[in-house]
Amino acid sequence: DPYSSDPERHPVLRINSKKPFNAEPPPEILTESYITPHVLFFKRNHLPVPQVDPASYRLQVEGLPRGALTLSLKDLKTRFPKHTVTATMQCAGNRRSDMNQVKEVKGLNWGISAIGNAKWSGARLRDVLLAAGFGPDVAKWARHVHFEGLDKDVTGSAYGTSIPINKAMNEDGDVLLAYEMNGEDIPADHGFPVRVVVPGVVGARNVKWLGRIVVSAEESSSHWQQYDYKGFSPGTDWSKVDHASSPAIQELPVQSAITVPADGAQIDRSDETLTVKGYAWSGGGREVVRVDVSLDGGKTWQVAQLRSGDKGQPDEPSPPPGRSWAWKLWELTAPLPPDADELEIICKAVDNSYNVQPDTIPPIWNLRGLLNNAWHRVKVKVTE
Ligand code: MTE
Ligand code: MO
């Protein structure tokens, strides 16, 4: 069993698939902390977790005219400045289960917790590429940076993807070759000893157990770049799908979800007020500037309180414009609407480009169930 050496996991996680291991935390626990503890952080593995010996670990940096650069873990830690970024990571399949209910889609049935926020530390990819010989001549032809994991399928091909060179080389891009998560060595499930962190970009590009980096004029030819993680029209079915016609997902759209109360929860009418909680985030470093909440199915709206830190603690300092990589947690306490036996609670976020979430799923439905960012709705019963 290639999965027999997989690490232990926290029993509270909701498992979507055991082998490979895919799981997410219960929503109400997810938003209890601004920084997601690694045990609760969603785990999205396509293959068995590779066991990597940190002493013999080597990272290959290839594709540059000077030839390959080989770095040990110690090289990464000592030859490059350590940089720390708080960044939210979200799987493109987050909230797929709701899309699946509109019409069947193909993929793991994720709820709303295939997202997490962590403090990542490591070397900047930019610094490593500069040390490997990236310069003005390379900039003339280089368009993409490929990443390959050390996890391999039965045919021996590794998990791999690529990102645009501009994101990799931009001083404000904050792309990391991370060796720490929340101040500790990156745990096995999250890519020990080194993973790529591409803030603002879909989870799939944040390659774990990083073994190889290649600077190239072309996108990665891997399955995950070319035949997965792409968006399509609601009218496209499996007989018509042409993967070459759609670009690979990189920056994600604006997102929010309600974590408390849970769908189907019972609220006591004598409570008089109701507290609604959730998360909100946008891709590409765009900052969430507002979250609107409705307790009556969208007829009336109230503005939720946003925070970028733990409850009762000061907020983290605001990042410079264009580098808002971390989510905001939000909360609204409002009077319970009188006379209603059932409430439809809705949330929707707005980012600083005034991007908004679509109100329903059907216009954004797609056969892989990706990129569901429709208004999130939960129904609760009000009981005597
Ligand atoms: N990297 C490797 N090597 N193998 C993988 O299966 N999964 C990707 C990405 N990086 C994956 C990977 C996907 S689809 C996501 S959403 C994130 O890792 C999940 O990261 P996490 O498990 O740390 O939450
Ligand atoms: Mo993902």
Of all protein residues, the one whose alpha carbon is nearest to atom 14 of ligand 1 is 204
Spell out the SS3 assignment of 237-290.
CCCCCCHHHCCECCECCCEEEEEECCCCCEEEHHHCEEEEEEEEECCCCCCEEE
> Is residue 48 domain-shared with residue 116, that is, in the same domain?
yes
Q: Which residues line ligand 1 (CB under 6 A)?
A: 41-47, 89, 91, 149, 151, 159, 189-190, 203-204, 206-209
Distance 382 CA to ligand 1 centre (A): 40
154 alpha carbon, distance to own chain's centre: 27
Please, which residues have CB within 8 angstroms of residue 323's CB and are 6 or more apart in sequence? 172, 174, 199, 285
**CATH number for the domain including 109?**
3.90.420.10
pLDDT in tens, 236-271: 999 999 999 999 999 999 999 999 999 999 999 999
> Is residue 232 domain-shared with residue 317, that is, in the same domain?
no
User: In whole angstroms, what is the distance from residue 169 CA to residue 175 CA?
Assistant: 8
Domain with 238, as residue range(s), is 14-245
> Is residue 91 domain-shared with residue 216, that is, in the same domain?
yes
Query: Of ligand 1's atoms, which has the minimum distance to the CA of residue 92?
Result: 16
Residue 250 in domain: no
Distance 153 CA to ligand 1 centre (A): 14
> Is residue 310 domain-shared with residue 227, that is, in the same domain?
no
Query: Of ligand 1's atoms, which has the minimum distance to the CA of residue 149?
Result: 3
Q: Is the ipTM of this complex over 0.90?
A: yes
pLDDT above 90: residue 93? yes
Domain boundary residue among 192, 215, 245? 245
pLDDT in tens, 28-81: 999 999 999 999 999 999 999 999 999 999 999 999 999 999 999 999 999 999
Please, which residues have CB within 8 angstroms of residue 350's CB and are 6 or more apart in sequence? 254, 288, 289, 290, 291, 292, 356
Mean pLDDT of all residues in the chain?
A: 97
Residue 7 in domain: no
pLDDT in tens, 282-297: 999 999 999 999 999 9
> Is residue 260 domain-shared with residue 364, that is, in the same domain?
yes
> Is residue 58 domain-shared with residue 35, that is, in the same domain?
yes
Output DSSP code: residue 127: H
Closest CA to 176 of 128, 133, 114, 132: 128
pLDDT above 90: residue 170? yes
Q: Which residue has the tokens 């990589």?
A: 325
Query: Of ligand 1's atoms, which has the minimum distance to the CA of residue 44?
Result: 22
- Pocket probe for ligand 1: among 15, 22, 176, 208, the residue whose CB has the most ligand atoms within 8 Å is 208
pLDDT in tens, 363-377: 999 999 999 999 999
pLDDT in tens, 134-143: 999 999 999 9
Confidence of residue 339 (pLDDT cuts 50, 70, 90): confident
Residue 314 in domain: yes
Domain count, the chain: 2
> Is residue 128 domain-shared with residue 276, that is, in the same domain?
no
Proportion of the chain above pLDDT 70, given as a percent: 100
> Is residue 270 domain-shared with residue 354, that is, in the same domain?
yes
User: In whole angstroms, what is the distance from residue 204 CA to residue 50 CA?
Assistant: 17
pLDDT in tens, 189-247: 999 999 999 999 999 999 999 999 999 999 999 999 999 999 999 999 999 999 999 99
> Is residue 230 domain-shared with residue 282, that is, in the same domain?
no
In the sheet that holds 273-281, the strands lie side by side as 255-260, 273-281, 328-335, 305-307
Residue 270 in domain: yes
pLDDT above 90: residue 384? no
Structure tokens at 229: 């993680």
